[in-house]
Structure 1
Amino acid sequence: MTASSPSNSTQVTPLQRRAIALAALTQAVYLVDSIARKGLADAEDSRALIESIFNDPSANDSPAEVYGGIKQLSTGIRISREILQGKSMPQTKALMSYSAGLLTIEQRLNKDHKMRSKLGEGMARIDKQKHYFGSAVHPSVCAAIADLYGETISTMKPRIIVRGKSEHLSQSENTRRVRTLLMAGLRAAHLWRSNGGGHLTLLLRRKAILRELELLQKSISLD
């Protein structure tokens, strides 16, 4: 893969796939934390993640295609780089906690056939709503995703506890947005694992993944 063509599926390596999945996961938890602390989340960053919930790539596709292109993950790439570089950010601890929780839940979900079936049936129903309303980010669609998350993923352990300001988290709209983005984060966690990522990957391959993230960021600036 050249720096200018990160989404070319014929050249995407397993390590590059993991870097893209990590960026998506980081972007999801970053937006969750932003809603919890400030009541805000970038609309376009959120849209790419929410739409990814409905996208099921073939084995030959780059994970970037799930998100509509690598540019849609620019925030996740930037934040992932800063974390791996050890830069001090007030939200780092929360982001790592949310990410670890989603990775653990996804791993357990992979072994829970009954829960996966329930989740799949629910998403098939919501997909019909998405087509009816014409948008994955329609309030009714997001509400349905949030409800499904509450009925399924919220019942699994470790339960992800989102911490922030009560004035934001007490609003039902923000609760729905948080749950929808956590569902998107779970999607990214699945891409991470299915492309060879694990809990120790960041520890053992930190420098290599950081290099891939730097290449991805360069490719965005070259477009």
Structure 2
Amino acid sequence: MTDKTSMTSRRSQTIALSAMCQSALMIQHVSKGTILDKDSLMCLFNGVIATDPQSVFDVYSSIETLADGAKLVQHQLSGNATKKDVEVTRYLAGIMSISKKLLKNPSALGGLKEKLDEVQRRLTHFELDDPSIIQNFADCYSEIISPLGQKIQVIGNPALLKQTSVQHKVRALLLSGVRAAVLWRQMGGKRRDFIFNRKTVLQDVISFNQELTSN
């Protein structure tokens, strides 16, 4: 008989992994000038400010907006990755690496929570996708997370990447990716699962995609 706690944990990992991939995919989109889906963006940013959740659904309540990320997980694990997907894979590897370092750094975690609490207070006057809030998220990433590890090189349209607003969105999405990676690790996710438990992870995300498609 399958342990229900284990199943719940695996589902939480799948949702967090989908959010991580959604963030990486949207980094690729914004760096190349593709218009971002607002609902997906809001879901990821809501996840960033959920600093004391009781479950994965307190972080990502609109899981249907993570559908593209879930499809990407399935695509990557099915061995169908293309040259284009190498960019996203690189973003994911960087996000996973730096999230591990963040979890091992209590000082950085404390500083990040303080900054996000400040952002939460500002949300009484601004919308979550207001440029000033996105800049706050970007500052959180630049000042606290980025110094923890090797910088994640973003590839895209050079003219776009020179724009301050685009830089802010990229860093805010990197922050959302790290948040998802932290949650994934807290729910028991490990990078070695992609090697030793690949079939299980793939089956979980296939089931999640089928659920999203049927709703």
Which of 42, 46, 53 lines up with 1:57 in the alignment?
53
Identify the match of residue 43 of structure 2 among 35, 45, 48.
48
Distance in 1 between the 2:202 and 2:65 partners?
18
Alpha carbons 1:130, 1:138 under 8 Å: kept: no
Residues 43 and 62, structure 2, Cα contact 8 Å, conserved in 1: no
SS at match of 2:123: helix
CA contact (8 A) 1:28 1:184 kept: yes
Aligned letter for 1:218? Q
Instruction: Give the C-alpha shift of residue 23 in structure 1.
Output: 0.6
Q: Within 2, Cα distance between the matches of 1:72 and 1:23?
A: 10
Aligned residue-pair number: 211
Partner of 2:186: 194
CA distance in structure 2 between the partners assigned to 1:175 and 1:31 by the alignment? 13
* C-alpha RMSD of matched pairs (Å): 1.8
Counterpart amino acid of residue 178 in structure 1: V
1:91 to partner: Cα distance: 2.8
Would the aligned equivalents of 1:70 and 1:216 in 2 still touch at CA under 8 Å?
no
Partner of 1:25: 20
Give, in whole Å, the separation in 2 of the partners of 1:11 and 1:197: 12
Question: Matches of 1:64 and 1:71 in 2, distance apart?
Answer: 12
Q: Which runs of 5+ in 2 are unaligned?
A: none
Q: 1:132 aligns with which of 119, 125, 134?
A: 125
**Equivalents in 2 of 1:204, 1:22: separation in Å?**
17
The superposition leaves residues 122-145 of structure 1 with CA deviations (integer Å, 9 ceiling, x where unpaired) of 111111111222x22122111111
- In the other structure, the counterpart of 1:176 is 168
Which AA in structure 2 matches 1:193? R
Whether 1:167 aligns to 2:159 is: yes
1:15-164 alignment runs, 5 A limit: 15-55=10-50, 56-58=52-54, 61=55, 63-133=56-126, 135-164=127-156
The TM-score, its normalising length taken from structure 2, stands at: 0.91
Q: In structure 1, what is the Cα distance between the partners aligned to 2:140 and 2:125?
A: 18
Instruction: Give CA deviations for 1:88-121 in whole Å, capped at 9, x if unaligned.
Output: 4333211111111111111111111221121111
Structure 1 residue ranges, 4+ long, deviating more than 3 angstroms after superposition: 9-12
- Mean Cα displacement is larger for which, 185-194 or 149-158? 149-158
Which residue matches 2:199?
A: 207
The amino acid of 2:164's aligned partner reads: S
Structure 1: where are the runs of 5+ without partners? 1-8
